[in-house]
Structure 1
Amino acid sequence: MASMETADWNEEESYLSIVTAGSPQELKARRTACQQVLLEQLNVIPVEEWMYRVNAMHDQLARTAVHLCEAQMKEAGYGLPPCAYSFIVFGSAGRQEATLWSDQDNGLIVEGELEGDRGSYFEAFGNMLSDVLEAIGYEKCDGRVMCSEPLWRKSLAEWKHQLSDWMEQLEWEPVRYLIIASDMRHVAGSEELSAAWREALHAGFIDNSKLTTAVLRNTVRHKATLNLLGQVLTERFGDNAGGFDVKYGLYIPLVNIVRHLSLLHGIEESSTLKRLEDLAELNQYQHLEEIRRAVLTALRMRVNTPYTVVDGLLASSDYYPGDDLKNKRLRAELRESLLLIRRLHKALQRQLRSAERRQL
């Protein structure tokens, strides 16, 4: 995996200029400059290296947004942060797989109790930070997984209680929240708080067969992508007619499968590719190399879906156009990946039925 010290990275002044931005407007301009550099590198360098650079950019933008927000809070009369806190990300950002058009998926972990002035400060801070991120091009999350929301902005003690509560309920919605949380990654602030949060999450999975079964139940649901003859299913109607839903038809099923296996074995990595590396060291699973190839296919297709540009910012439907699917090599890779997913899902469904029978 590439590192921040690669020569190409350090030569790009547009990346390094992010940390010196003095306002959200400046930060947005630096982001659009970085995006242009990245678009020029797309399909020129390996997709895993390209994704690394994209997500390193997102991390720098987020850290700078946090610092700008602290300064704005001080100017607004709130003063400096009253205690340590951690800014964390979930979703594709948590997995270091965000695209150039990904939206917000984030939260806050706060030291101590969120009461009185401390509670007021971080309520205002969470709202302001979400607004700053929106101003620099990160749309607010439709599912409201953002630091502006009380559910995703808590003290460490409150977070531990929340995680425990989700683990005990075992119903679809709390388990869905827990799955979202399991992709958490630290970006800014106190690494100690993030580490304590992560330890609490993974401790709840140890010897907890009912919880892993509940996660498996959520994992085996996925969109049908092949017909009975093994042909790729595309959208029949609407704006995306003829296109293939890369995100929910290919990428998310692979993410879900790898995440489930990782939680089962206490793997703390959040990146899908890094999780696969750790799973390979266990020498317990076949098909991991096939899964890795399928993940790379999913990433390549996802970052090559058509996009629009509005005010310098990118947006995409996550559908791969039908005309591009006529490429024989790509269609063969896609079909192979979807057949693999179908086999894996059938195996997981058998495991789920067996686990549910044991727990009766």
Structure 2
Amino acid sequence: MKSINSTDYVLDFSDIPVASSWSQLKERRIEYQTHLQQQRIELPILEWMMQVNQMHDLITTKALEICEKEMMEAGYGPPPVPYSFIVFGSAGRKESTLWSDQDNGLIISDETNEFKDRYFELFTNILCEQLAYLGYEKCLGKVMCSEPLWRKSLKEWELTLAEWQSDMSWEPIRYLIIAADMRHITGDQRLTDELKGIFYRGFKEVPELQYAILRNTVRHKATLNILGQVVTERFGDHAGGFDIKYGVYIPLVNFVRFMALQLDVRETTTKKRLEKLISLDSDNVLLESCQKAFDMAIQLRMSTPCTLSDGLLISSNYISEQELKKKTIMHELRESLGVIRGTHRALQRLLRFAERRKL
């Protein structure tokens, strides 16, 4: 393990690329995770989050390398055609926590090879199992490259995107929203670039997609009551607590993503999307408020209580009732929720306008 630079607290992750086995790679993750936890209060939250996501990217890249090596040793040879490994969700936005799960996909070259389907089926099944071993829990929604829906050749991806973009029902639009956050991790970058180009062309060719995305985005769970008080969980294990992920973070991410798609902003991270949107509309007070609220949301999300399981972190994403009694936390939370209420109202206005135009 390399030491932390005492001046700027930047971790040296050079031990990760030289790990030679799954067990070594898991050890590296646990070691760096511990150091990152210790330095969280020493760094501005966005700088700290950047280091967390750098660690995840390096571990994931190494995992694919080990997986390729094991396939070779098992007699399957090297990858029969080029491929690109991509991530979605918080990983796609470079906003993963230390306990984020898997959200990934695979783009396979259209080059002809009779063994490629079987190879990549085995490859991705092994990979997703080992990523789970490394602490990246399997996605409950099955957004993983081990699933055929998220493992396709470039041509198959093109046909799938066209199907999603021609069907305005809830599920295909949800898949498009997921795809909007795709980010290249390793493999052939050109495949990712081509797929992104196909994705954005679809939005230009099918203007109605904006309305469908808006319809999906506008759904929102009330987080402030009419008196401006925070609405906490009433029942269950988290009674009295507040779900910071789905109550604050996700609504902000969804609003900013929708605005980015509407204005053809192709950045992946929420921070860069906001910066670009503000540069395009510098008088938009709501967007500037979102910037501050997003920083608060990240701070609160990364601060939620977590526990260790087999050396790896798990969190419920809830702020406890006890934590909510702290004036600073409650003030920040209420301020962020006020911004979210504003974004929700803005989306509702846009939806009503879109619906009137359809009449």
Question: What range is the shorter-chain TM-score in?
Answer: over 0.9
Determine the C-alpha separation between the residues in 2 that align with 1:6 and 1:80.
42
2:26 corresponding residue in structure 1: 28
Determine the C-alpha separation between the residues in 2 that align with 1:280 and 1:228.
30
Within a 5 Å distance, the mapping from 1:203-352 to structure 2 comes to 203-206=201-204, 208-283=206-281, 285-352=284-351
Is the contact between residue 83 and residue 106 of structure 2 (CA under 8 Å) also seen in structure 1?
yes
Is the contact between residue 165 and residue 206 of structure 2 (CA under 8 Å) also seen in structure 1?
no
Determine the C-alpha separation between the residues in 1 that align with 2:41 and 2:79.
42
Determine the C-alpha separation between the residues in 2 that align with 1:7 and 1:18.
22
1:178 corresponding residue in structure 2: 176
Q: Does 1:163 align with 2:153?
A: no
1:98 and 1:6, CA in 2 relative to 1: closer, same or farther beyond 3 A?
A: farther
Determine the C-alpha separation between the residues in 1 that align with 2:173 and 2:192.
20
Determine the C-alpha separation between the residues in 1 that align with 2:247 and 2:205.
32
- 1:239-285 CA-to-partner distances (Å, cap 9, x unmatched) read 11111110111000000000000011111111101100111110263
Unaligned ranges ≥5, structure 2: none
1:9 and 1:206, CA in 2 relative to 1: closer, same or farther beyond 3 A?
A: farther
Q: How many residues align?
A: 354
CA RMSD of aligned residues (A): 1.6
Is the contact between residue 81 and residue 113 of structure 2 (CA under 8 Å) also seen in structure 1?
no
How far did 1:209 drift? Answer: 2.9
1:136 to 126, 130, 134: 134
How far did 1:7 drift? Answer: 7.5
1:78 corresponding residue in structure 2: 76
How far did 1:329 drift? Answer: 2.3
Determine the C-alpha separation between the residues in 2 that align with 1:221 and 1:135.
34
1:120 and 1:279, CA in 2 relative to 1: closer, same or farther beyond 3 A?
A: same
Percent of pairs with identical residues: 53
How far did 1:151 drift? Answer: 0.3
Is the contact between residue 109 and residue 153 of structure 2 (CA under 8 Å) also seen in structure 1?
yes
SS of 1:205's equivalent in the other structure is: helix
Is the contact between residue 28 and residue 136 of structure 1 (CA under 8 Å) also seen in structure 2?
yes
Moved more, 89-98 or 202-211: 202-211
| Residue identity opposite 2:319 in structure 1 | Y
1:47 corresponding residue in structure 2: 45
1:88 corresponding residue in structure 2: 86
- 1:331-359 CA-to-partner distances (Å, cap 9, x unmatched) read 12211111111122112112112112212
SS of 1:222's equivalent in the other structure is: coil
- 1:104-127 CA-to-partner distances (Å, cap 9, x unmatched) read 000100101586311111111111
Is the contact between residue 304 and residue 315 of structure 2 (CA under 8 Å) also seen in structure 1?
yes
| Residue identity opposite 1:89 in structure 2 | V
- 1:200-254 CA-to-partner distances (Å, cap 9, x unmatched) read 1111112633100100001111111011111001111111111111011100000
| Residue identity opposite 1:123 in structure 2 | E
Is the contact between residue 84 and residue 187 of structure 2 (CA under 8 Å) also seen in structure 1?
yes
2:123 corresponding residue in structure 1: 125
TM-score in terms of structure 1 length = 0.95
| Residue identity opposite 2:298 in structure 1 | L
- 1:37-61 CA-to-partner distances (Å, cap 9, x unmatched) read 1001112210000100000000000
SS of 1:315's equivalent in the other structure is: strand
1:147 corresponding residue in structure 2: 145
SS of 1:18's equivalent in the other structure is: coil
| Residue identity opposite 1:289 in structure 2 | E
Structure 1 stretches (4+) deviating beyond 6 angstroms?
none
1:357 corresponding residue in structure 2: 356
SS of 1:107's equivalent in the other structure is: strand
| Residue identity opposite 2:189 in structure 1 | E
Determine the C-alpha separation between the residues in 2 that align with 1:89 and 1:55.
12
1:103 to 101, 104, 107: 101
Is the contact between residue 81 and residue 111 of structure 2 (CA under 8 Å) also seen in structure 1?
no
